[in-house]
Structure 1
Amino acid sequence: MRIGLLTEGGYPYVGGDAGLWCDRLVRGLGQHEFDIYALSRSERQEAGGRLPLPPHVGRVRTAPLWSAADDGVVYGRRARRRFAEAYGELAAALCTAPEPGTSRGAPESSGPEADRFGNALYALAELARDEGGLAGALRSEAAARVLERSCRAPGALRAARAARVPDLLEAAARLERALRPLSLDWYEDDGLGSADLCHAATGGAAALAGLLARHLAGVPLLVTEYGVHLRAHYLGASDGAPAVRALLASFHRRLAAEAYRRAACVTPGNTHARRWQERCGADRAKLVTVYPGMEASRFTDVGESADCADPYTLVWVGRVEPTKDLISLLHAFADVHRKEPKARLRIIGSAAGADGTAYLGHCRALAAQLFPDEAEGVHAVGDNPVSFEEIGGPEVPDLAEAYAAGAVVVLSSVVEGFPISLVEAMLCGRATVSTDVGAVVEVIGGTGLVVPPRNPRALAEACLALLRDPERRERLGAAARARALELFTVEQNVAAFRGIYLEILSHSPVRRVLVDGAGEPLPFGAPAEAQVPGRWTDPLRLRARPRWAGAAHPAPDAVSATVPLKESVPVAGGAR
């Protein structure tokens, strides 16, 4: 089958957010043809280049979210009226306060307001397809006036009613950026219209493009979120006036609900993400948990060896930033070192950005204060109880060696989504001590110790318990490795999506009816095996006509067959 893979700020760009798992997925499903539709977030990202692609990637089409070219189209009277009506409905849906008793974070997944938002969104997309010029219209003074009327209307959000003119202009500009996928030329028969399935690798703009392909071309949609886009927006929406933040939050909330409602299947990466999606209106029957796949082979040598560099060493591995709460870890280790003088702590990782660099300096200063006798050499590996290191040096040449450097791996975060470093430690067969945040408990599954976050005393007691009991460490490490190999490998991830693709396609209607020379329909003219490359896929010498001939919105020209074979979906740790 042909898969249209939709990404935002990720694959196939080098260093993209979702680049690694998308690349593994594409390479693991070599029997399918992939077309990649990538939305880039910055000019710098595009300049960084792309990853090398396998031969079954047919094409790559990219579009920037950081700029929008005005095509110079000036709307006439009819087009202006269509735009005012559609944008007015969209703005009214965004400004409408939730119904009494509705959770603040969970919009209605169905009902008049959900339909109002979706209908307005698709009306704008149809206007862009028919007339063009949508980018300019969204940046026009008329758009700001429409937004102002909706903010001043009775029953509007309290924050929106207080919006001033600069706030309205800023909100209109940010909404125009969020709606840029509506103006793309991706949805015709030579683009996503020829795909059998759209797979959005994240929420937000990628899911919006998938919604438009579904509406304009009838292509079924699969949405995967390893980090919930709406949650990321809430955490990062700290700038702007209250009115701007309220309108943007309403947009992303309703967009998430629309994507979950229209998608054929939604695959969260863990139960933590699944709960967010359910609160945003996702139907439980559509949710299938698929864990991220990790490359286990790079950790095989360490995982199969019972040896460690030092049985009294604690190891922390990751990106140094305030959410990792190394301050609590250092205070906990001070308690550990008082009770076990042989204990050492190796902090292995690099700082992320200016905030991370400043935080790393603060941690080093605290380590020198907590261990004054060894303050002069606190940055080096030796007799000092605390060391700060980076991967790639002589002591830690690679990631596997970082986990092999100690007997216990510690995670001290206060905010965490899916803990990648924890899975890596499990693949290395290491016992772990972690804080109860994000999906940690789900990942550990009883193979490690879990303590409350921001609790140095509990963290110290758990670390001491494992340092003093080598048999328990070995038992937990073996169980952790077995669990990671069962649930969190690339093979499990690829197998799950292979089954999900077939399951979705088996329930998708044929979008084109083949007819013979006399115009009579051929019910089996597009057999299931036509989805698999081979001699039977030679071009059919048949004349085809759309099923909805003469309808207002005819079906696309792509041939897609219903797969009669239902294959069970092997999903690691999830249930349909």
Structure 2
Amino acid sequence: MRIGLFTEGGYPYVSGDAGLWCDRLVRGLGHHEFDVYAFSRSEAQEDGGWVPLPPQVARVRTAPLWTAEDDGVVYGRRARRRFAEHYGELAAVLCTSDPGSASGQGSASTSGQRSASGPAAAGARAGTEGTAPVPAEADRFTGALYGLADLAREEGGLAAALRSETAVRALEHACRAPRVLPAAREARVADLLAVAAHLHEALRPLSLDWYEEDGLGAVDLCHAASGGTAALPGLLAGHFFDVPLLVTEYGVRLRTHYLTRPDSSPAVRSLLAAFHGRLTAETYRRAALLTPGNTHARRWQERCGADRAKVRTVPPGVDAAPFAEAGGSPQRGDPHTLVWAGRVEPAKDLVSLLHAFAGIRAAEPGARLRIIGGPAGPEGAAYLEHCRALAARLFPDGTGAPHAAGRGPVSFEEPGGPGLAGPADAYAAGAVTVLSSVVEGFPTGLVEAMLAGRATVSTDVGAVVEVIGGTGLVVPPRDPQALARACVSLLRDPERRMRLGAAARARALELFTVEQNVAAFHGLYLEAVAHTPVRRVRLNGTGDPLPFAAPVEARVPGHWAGPASRRPRRAAPAWAADPPERCSSPARSAPAPLRAVTGPAPGAAPGPVTEAAR
């Protein structure tokens, strides 16, 4: 089948998030054809070029998010009126949406509860036929969104209109209307300009020329590698051509928007939270399937309005080949050394790790700590210097020198240094791998340590417990004493380290490999297309439609059985009338679902170190 793959700041660019995952997915599904639609985040990223593309990538189309290009489109009076109506409706919904609701569908004012009317509402109903009914506020938002998309497709683009004074005045009028949210009513001119600029960037995909019959109209399935901007072209492909959409989120994009712009005014945060909440709810509603990478992300999606029947948890895959040697020799490495590996940034909480190591050294004077990783941006560089200074105060006996020099208990090393050709060498250098994060999505580094056969001590954040299962020790975050006790217990018990390391490697090989990930998406592609009616009608020689001329299974490669039996067909059994989700079973090649482990209640006092429940 032909897949339209949407990325933002990633594949096929050399420097980009989730680029490696997309490359492995495309290469692993060589029997499909891919059209890549990529958004770039910076000029430097575009100058860096693309990774080598496999032959199954038939076409790549890109669009920048870092620059505002003028498309030269000038609207006439009627088009300007349509834009003002749809943009004003969009702004009105944002001013009456409760940003405290994750889906953006919280309590609204009385004026916001009325049913949508006019062209905007008609556009929403036309674009959502055959789907479940939606609340009035969501119907108004989708009507305005698809109304703007229709306008851009008919008139040539929205770039100039979204930056126009008409857009700012529409926002101002919506914020000054009666019974709007208090934060929106307090918006000042600077706030309105900031919101208009953000909406101009977020709605830029509406103006692209991707929505043609020979573009997105020719694909069988759209796959968005993230939510937000990357998923918006998939929504429009469904709106214009009824193409099914699959959305993969290894980090919930809405959560990221909630955590950004902490220094903005309440009005800006309120309006942008309402916009992204509404867009996320519409994405989840229109998507045929949602594939979070872990249960933590799945809970966010369901809280934001995702239908549980559409959700399929698919952990990201890690290439196990580089870790085969380290996993096959668990005794390799210094039995007194702890290893931390990853990108240095405040969320990794190396400060707590250094304080914990002070307690470890008091109990085990021969213990050493190797911190292997480079800084993540300017903030990470400043944090690394702070950690170096802290380590020098806590361990004044030569700390900070390369580990090979043997001068001190703590070393800060860059990947690729002496003896660190790859991640496997980093994890194999010690007996225990430590993760001390306070914020974590899917801990890929932890999976790599498991593949290397190392016992692990981790903080209970994100999907850590889900990944570890019963193969490692888990402690509360920001608790140096608990972290120290767990590390000391493993340093003193080599047999337990060996047992946990072997179990961790077996679990990672079963659930978190590239092969498992690719096989799961192969089955999901077939599932999504199989539940979608044929869109391109084929005609016979006289011009009459040919029903069932292109069945879904015709696109599945392989040799099929010969002519069907001529025996009369039996009536379908009663269970065949059930919805497909109730009759189908998961693909055999898909990884087993992961079970969440209930931890201590929030705010409870940290208890003793425990192994995650099996």
- Equivalent residue for 1:300, pick from 306, 324, 327: 324
**Aligned-partner Cα distance in 1 for 2:3–2:585:** 18
**Aligned-partner Cα distance in 1 for 2:405–2:349:** 22
- Does 2:149 correspond to 1:125? yes
What is the CA distance between 1:152 and its match in structure 2? 1.1
**Aligned-partner Cα distance in 2 for 1:5–1:240:** 33
- Does 2:457 correspond to 1:433? yes
- Equivalent residue for 2:509, pick from 475, 485, 497: 485
Aligned twin of 2:61: 61
Question: Does the CA contact (< 8 Å) of 1:318 and 1:349 recur in 2?
Answer: yes
**Aligned-partner Cα distance in 1 for 2:360–2:23:** 42
Render the CA deviation track for 1:21-78: whole Å, top value 9, x for unaligned. Answer: 0000000000000000001111111111001100111000001112232222222222
**Aligned-partner Cα distance in 2 for 1:67–1:515:** 45
Aligned twin of 1:95: 95
What is the CA distance between 1:377 and its match in structure 2? 4.7
Render the CA deviation track for 1:443-465: whole Å, top value 9, x for unaligned. Answer: 10111000001101000000011
Which residue identity is paired with 1:56?
Q
What SS class does the counterpart of residue 411 from structure 2 fall into?
A: strand
- Equivalent residue for 2:537, pick from 513, 522, 536: 513
What is the CA distance between 1:261 and its match in structure 2? 0.4
What is the CA distance between 1:532 and its match in structure 2? 4.5
Aligned twin of 1:180: 204
**Aligned-partner Cα distance in 1 for 2:291–2:52:** 26
Aligned twin of 2:573: none
Aligned twin of 2:37: 37
Question: Does the CA contact (< 8 Å) of 2:330 and 2:501 recur in 1?
Answer: no
What is the CA distance between 1:148 and its match in structure 2? 0.8
Question: Which stretch has the larger CA shift, 204-213 or 237-246?
Answer: 237-246
Change (3 A) 1:19 1:518: same
Change (3 A) 1:154 1:334: same
What SS class does the counterpart of residue 334 from structure 2 fall into?
A: coil
**Aligned-partner Cα distance in 2 for 1:9–1:268:** 19
- Does 2:285 correspond to 1:261? yes
Aligned twin of 1:574: 593
**Aligned-partner Cα distance in 1 for 2:383–2:402:** 16
What SS class does the counterpart of residue 407 from structure 1 fall into?
A: strand
- Does 2:444 correspond to 1:447? no
Change (3 A) 1:452 1:376: closer
Question: Does the CA contact (< 8 Å) of 1:506 and 1:566 recur in 2?
Answer: no
**Aligned-partner Cα distance in 2 for 1:103–1:433:** 35
- Does 2:232 correspond to 1:208? yes
What SS class does the counterpart of residue 391 from structure 1 fall into?
A: coil
TM-score, structure 2 as length reference: 0.86
Render the CA deviation track for 1:481-504: whole Å, top value 9, x for unaligned. Answer: 001001110000000000000001
Which sections of structure 2, spanning at least 5 residues, go unmatched?
Answer: 107-133, 561-582, 596-614
RMSD: 2.1
Change (3 A) 1:376 1:444: closer
Question: Which stretch has the larger CA shift, 89-98 or 422-431?
Answer: 89-98
What is the CA distance between 1:154 and its match in structure 2? 2.0
Aligned twin of 1:545: none
**Aligned-partner Cα distance in 2 for 1:535–1:323:** 52
Question: Does the CA contact (< 8 Å) of 1:437 and 1:453 recur in 2?
Answer: yes
Which residue identity is paired with 1:42?
S
Question: Which stretch has the larger CA shift, 381-390 or 209-218?
Answer: 381-390
**Aligned-partner Cα distance in 2 for 1:575–1:463:** 26
Aligned twin of 2:79: 79
What is the CA distance between 1:429 and its match in structure 2? 0.5
- Equivalent residue for 2:259, pick from 235, 248, 263: 235
**Aligned-partner Cα distance in 2 for 1:291–1:445:** 14
Which residue identity is paired with 1:120?
A
Change (3 A) 1:450 1:89: same
Aligned twin of 2:337: 313
**Aligned-partner Cα distance in 1 for 2:437–2:261:** 21
What SS class does the counterpart of residue 255 from structure 1 fall into?
A: helix
**Aligned-partner Cα distance in 2 for 1:504–1:134:** 32
What SS class does the counterpart of residue 345 from structure 1 fall into?
A: strand
- Does 2:373 correspond to 1:349? yes
Q: Share of identical aligned residues, percent?
A: 71
Instruction: Summarize the alignment of residues 102-251 of structure 1 with structure 2, pairs less than 5 Å apart.
Output: 104-108=101-105, 110-251=134-275
Question: Does the CA contact (< 8 Å) of 1:289 and 1:573 recur in 2?
Answer: no
Question: Does the CA contact (< 8 Å) of 2:295 and 2:594 recur in 1?
Answer: no
Render the CA deviation track for 1:494-541: whole Å, top value 9, x for unaligned. Answer: 0000000000111001112223223433223224454257999xxxxx
Which residue identity is paired with 2:96?
T
Change (3 A) 1:155 1:348: same
Aligned twin of 2:431: 407
Question: Does the CA contact (< 8 Å) of 1:502 and 1:567 recur in 2?
Answer: no
**Aligned-partner Cα distance in 2 for 1:391–1:268:** 30
Render the CA deviation track for 1:285-309: whole Å, top value 9, x for unaligned. Answer: 1010000010000100000112222
Question: Does the CA contact (< 8 Å) of 2:400 and 2:412 recur in 1?
Answer: no
Which sections of structure 1, spanning at least 5 residues, go unmatched?
Answer: 537-564
Instruction: Summarize the alignment of residues 452-491 of structure 1 with structure 2, pairs less than 5 Å apart.
Output: 452-491=476-515
What is the CA distance between 1:143 and its match in structure 2? 1.0
Question: Which stretch has the larger CA shift, 172-181 or 359-368?
Answer: 359-368
Question: Which stretch has the larger CA shift, 465-474 or 345-354?
Answer: 345-354
**Aligned-partner Cα distance in 1 for 2:399–2:544:** 87
Which residue identity is paired with 2:301?
Q
